[in-house]
Structure 1
Amino acid sequence: MRFYATVPMGLEEVSSEEIEELGGRIYSIRKGKGRVFFEGNQELVPKLNFFSRTLERVLILIENTCIDELEDIYTCLKSLDYSFIKPYQSFAIRSLRIGKHDFTSIDISREAGQGVIDSYMLSKGHRLKVNLDNPDVIIRVDLIHDELFVGLDTTGDNALHKRWYRVYNHPAPLNTAIASSMIRLSGWKEGKILLDPMCGGGTIPIEAAMKMRDIPPGKNRKFAYFNFMGKILPDYTEKEIFSPIYGFDRFRKHVDGAIENAKEAGVLDTIQFMKKDFLKVEDFEANFIITNPPYGLRIGKKRIIEELYTGLFERAVNVLKGDSVLVLITPHKGLVEEIIAKLGFTMLDIIPVKYGNLDTTIFKLKI
């Protein structure tokens, strides 16, 4: 079978490694488009949905082609086989459009939906029911510039990064798939001290603790494939492993929120959350710093952000010990490059990442 996964744009290589570890065979990576194509058996559907930490969605590939006009979408969708949909099942189109076009994602959904209906009527003599709110089958039709991706969604409307443990919502939460990609990129392993000095709602420490203890991120949720493959979930065994993981934040409400999230995730006994201003921290050592510092886009004062980032890196120089690594995500690429050059950091990796509508960069650094 052929599949593709949607992943955070820019992190396709990182997600490809995870897909291969879980049994998929990569055959194409669309860098910058957030799409990874792979082959494997049907067992990959529950396995990837349940265990993957860096993916957004897992789809069974129906079609991948290039189009010029809106009408081409209808023509393409009408030419495809939808025998996997049972006559009694309802369906919905979910579409995404990126690039310059003289039509909208709503237009894509309309044309694609009509193509599915007409194709099924011709082949089966039956008009499929549309249910936009609670469909049995979701077909994703995404257009990125001129490339069309059509897939049977096995994940559902709730993307894989929407973890069950988020009972406290930080005002600027980090996407868990990006957090897990940063952890994977860092090379952090059990036994090494990990610190997020500006942890907010605790996403990075929690994702690290779940990874270390083999707690599946797909726990406590439903998947779209339940409707056409049955409620199949892989077996797993959680580990009772404890390793030094720390989360600091200077705001008490965020520390309390991170504690609530960690409790919900079942890893509160694995992480030490503390109310601390990292810029004032003394006598602390870590091997890995992985963090999503404030972007300050709403503050509007360049000086404040410069002081914050300079302080972050200066403290990191003193805190990091041994064979250490610093990984962070930021929209302030130029500022970070300027600071790390002054302080003597070595750049191990730099990855542009599209985070929503924001252009950000993940840095992997060594002092």
Structure 2
Amino acid sequence: MSKIELVAPCHFGLEAVLKKEILDLGYEIVRVEDGRVTFAGDEDAICRANIFLRTAERILLKVGQLHAVTFDELFEGIKALPWENYIPSDGKFWVAKASSVKSKLFSPSDIQSIVKKAIVERLKGVYSLQWFPETGAEYPIRISFMKDEAVVCLDTTGLSLHKRGYRTMVSKAPIKETLAAALLMLTPWHKDRILVDPFCGSGTFPIEAAMMAANIAPGMNRSFTAEKWTNFVGRKYWYGAIDEANDLVDDQIETDIQGYDIDGDIIKAARQNAREAGVDHLIHFQQRPLSELSHPKKYGFIVSNPPYGERLEEKSHLPALYTEIGDRFRELDSWSMYLITSYEDAEKYIGKKADKNRKIYNGMLKTYYYQFLGPKPPKMNRQEKQ
């Protein structure tokens, strides 16, 4: 296969983090748009992107792009695409998702129906078939319209990439693994620095941090839809990417990553999730209330997803909670703190204005990533640690 374009969706506001990840993997960026990054690659890139990228939601193989303001234009545009390059005669194919923003064609169900019919017509002529058994591998299709321009893709991933395979137990309001990884990447935290999450819930921040520290690829222990696309993505590419990931793992490192929660059952769940991820030996989980947040060492990091108070009965507790967060933080000399929350009065009750504030959409919920930056450790100390 010649060079292909791959589209990696991500959380709105975190495109730059994903772009850096893709560049670090060695691929060329084609374009960066709201909520997605397009890059150039080959068969190997399909495998490596799915296994190594921490902040992408999925990896889509771009089949084509077209302009359509009528269903006739959509039908002809879809029919003109080279579907036979990807879908074999026994392939099972359907339009898994259709979305439309500021476009004349806006009905997802109608778009899905037209796209399916157009692909069938195309493949009828290629394979000389009137009926398709669809007993083979699955080829889910995604089409997204923006201002009458449609991007048409095959989904190589299947279950979203935030499904790492380790989180078997979750807390009430878990943060997605992909979002947690991106937020960690927005900090200067490094594996030789202290990291504490005082509202760790099911352990996502500490686990993602430990996986980064040990260089464990997030997709090592799960499967992907494109693994069965042997008609154009050979098994050797998957084997090669997994071998590469295994060679990079270093889980014998020493870390100081801690997760606290007031709920003992949630702490048990976090420990179980960490075991599933293979990083339980790198994290210290403890049942501990916020009032007992303290640490003797300097230059540490708090990275957390504190309660938002989305239910009305919880909102009355937020001023006291965020006041206590501020009090605990002031006691941690030289530390930095990073909080993601939808609570707009967070700075007011913490008692300090954030050095940086980034707006991030967590699904449809607008949240803020408040960044309170502590001093850098003396260079001498950093050299001593190495």
TM-score (norm 1): 0.89
Deviation at 1:134, TM superposition (A): 8.6
2:361 is paired with a residue of what secondary structure? strand
Cα distance change on mapping 1:283 and 1:186 into 2, 3 Å: closer
1:258 is paired with a residue of what secondary structure? helix
Instruction: Name the counterpart of 2:284.
Output: 272
Cα distance change on mapping 1:152 and 1:64 into 2, 3 Å: same
Alignment of 1:1-367 (within 5 A): 1=3, 2-31=5-34, 34-83=35-84, 84-97=86-99, 99=101, 103-127=106-130, 129=132, 136-144=138-146, 146-156=148-158, 158-228=159-229, 229-231=233-235, 232-233=238-239, 234=241, 235=243, 236-237=246-247, 238-239=249-250, 240-285=252-297, 287-319=300-332, 321-322=333-334, 324-332=335-343, 334-339=344-349, 342-347=351-356, 350-367=357-374
Quote the Cα distance in structure 2 between the aligned partners of 1:304 and 1:178. Answer: 26
Quote the Cα distance in structure 1 between the aligned partners of 2:307 and 2:98. Answer: 28
Quote the Cα distance in structure 2 between the aligned partners of 1:352 and 1:70. Answer: 37
Deviation at 1:337, TM superposition (A): 4.0
Quote the Cα distance in structure 2 between the aligned partners of 1:260 and 1:335. Answer: 34
Cα distance change on mapping 1:65 and 1:146 into 2, 3 Å: same
CA contact (8 A) 1:176 1:203 kept: yes
Larger CA Rg, structure 1 vs 2 = 2
1:343 is paired with a residue of what secondary structure? coil
Deviations 1:252-274 (A, max 9, x none): 11111101101111111100001
Quote the Cα distance in structure 2 between the aligned partners of 1:301 and 1:169. Answer: 20
CA RMSD of aligned residues (A): 2.3
Percent same amino acid among aligned pairs?
A: 30
- Name stretches of at least 5 consecutive residues in structure 2 with no aligned partner: 375-386
CA contact (8 A) 2:342 2:365 kept: yes
Q: Which residue identity does 2:108 align to in structure 1? A: S
Deviations 1:77-113 (A, max 9, x none): 1221112211122212111425467743222211211
Deviation at 1:40, TM superposition (A): 2.2
Number of residue pairs the alignment of both structures matches: 357
- Which is strand-richer, 1 or 2? 1
CA contact (8 A) 2:102 2:148 kept: no
1:57 is paired with a residue of what secondary structure? coil
Quote the Cα distance in structure 2 between the aligned partners of 1:69 and 1:306. Answer: 52
Question: Is the deviation greater in 217-226 or in 281-290?
Answer: 281-290
CA contact (8 A) 1:60 1:153 kept: yes
TM-score (norm 2): 0.85
Q: Which residue identity does 2:122 align to in structure 1? A: S
Quote the Cα distance in structure 1 between the aligned partners of 2:167 and 2:60. Answer: 25
Deviations 1:311-330 (A, max 9, x none): 223312322x44x4322211
Cα distance change on mapping 1:196 and 1:69 into 2, 3 Å: farther
